[in-house]
Amino acid sequence: MKSYTIDQICEALEGALIGYTNVLITAPEQLDSASRTEISFIGHKKYEKSWESSQACAAVVNNYISIEPGENKAFIKVNNADLAMSRILKMFAPSLPKFSFDIHPSAVLEGTAKIGNGTKIGAGCYIGPDVKIGENVTIYPNVTILDECSVGNNTIIWSGAVLRERCHIGNDCILHSNCTIGADGFGFRPDPKLGLVKIPQIGNVIIGNGVEIGANSCVDRGKFSATIIGDGCKIDNLVQIGHNSKLGRFCIMAGNSGLAGSVTLGNGVVIGGSASIKDHTTIGDGAIIGAGSGVTGDIPAGMTMLGYPAIEARDALRQWAILKRLVKESKK
């Protein structure tokens, strides 16, 4: 079990220590659930009152927090408590699942596959012909990587993930359980004789460096060329990315959101949970699409959109306020 003194944690965070505690800290925890051997955080002044009833012996706090920690308790003041807490979580994180073999005897590797130094491959995996796996890659049990795929250095692929043929994953990525990269795009056309005719999807998926894709999410292969996920994008669970979509760098897509085919996102776009984006739509750099919104047209850079169909946030809030007032008045 990991444990640290308050001095060790303060040094790791490069923060300023206010007060002191001689308690050995054993874990991070929320304010209202923490025990006397645990550290928490205060990221906003509205949580200052919660500190009075918290059992935590210490907290990471923003510089503007005005309260005192109390007897045998301590604060570590930092510029950003949320970011600092992420470093503490890493300090206390348990070890990842271990491998008895670098390459498990039950894994199937085709003879033309190339595996980099330090890579570990779990039980029941299949690595197809002409696959290239970089160095220090971790592939957990029951992963399938089909023909001519490539996986960059230090990437982690969790159990059940599938990489279809000719897809490419960058360095330092994380693919969570049961995500599917490179499934066929949803392409059908009606034919009076044959019914719905399947349109071949002959492209692939290219994923940049530092990308994380959540459990049960799907990134479809392109119809002609590639579906592209830019460096640093973070994709939540249960997200659908349609064929030939292109995401810039550092985009965020929250759970249950989806892009139809040929959607283009600029850099730093944020898509809220359960939002849906119409096909052939372009969303500019830094735009924010609120949860549950439906985008039906292009969105300029930096805009915040809400509602269905999505409109500028200020207008949406004004409309909702008017509707609420009308409903209230109609009941009089």
What mean pLDDT is reported for the chain?
97
Q: What was the pLDDT predicted at 328?
A: 86
Stretches where the chain sits below pLDDT 50 are none
Q: Is residue 248 part of a domain?
A: yes
Among 32, 65, 92, the domain boundary falls at 92
Residue-level pLDDT at 95:
92
Q: Is the dihedral of CA 252, 254, 256, 257 positive or negative?
A: negative
The answer to whether residues 171 and 310 belong to one domain is yes
Q: What is the CATH number of the domain that holds 22?
A: 3.40.1390.10
Pairing state between β 195-198 and 188-191: antiparallel
Task: Tell me which H or E stretch contains 259.
Answer: strand 258-259
Residues 180 and 310 in one domain: yes
DSSP state of 268: T
Asked, for residue 165, whether it belongs to a domain, the answer is yes
Domains in the chain, number: 2
Within a domain: residue 126? no
Over residues 203-215, the pLDDT tens digits come to 999 999 999 999 9
CATH at residue 305? 2.160.10.10
Structure confidence by residue, pLDDT tens digits, 30-58: 999 999 999 999 999 999 999 999 999 99
Record the pTM. Answer: 0.93
**Which active-site residues does the annotation give?**
243
Residue 197 sits in the same domain as residue 293: yes
For residue 322, what pLDDT is reported?
94
Which residues span the domain enclosing 224? 161-314
For the chain, what percent of residues have pLDDT higher than 70? 100
Task: Give the pLDDT confidence of 93-115 residue by residue, as tens digits.
Answer: 999 999 999 999 999 999 999 99
**Beta strands, E only, 10-130:** 16-19, 27-28, 38-42, 58-62, 74-78, 108-109, 114-115, 120-121, 126-127
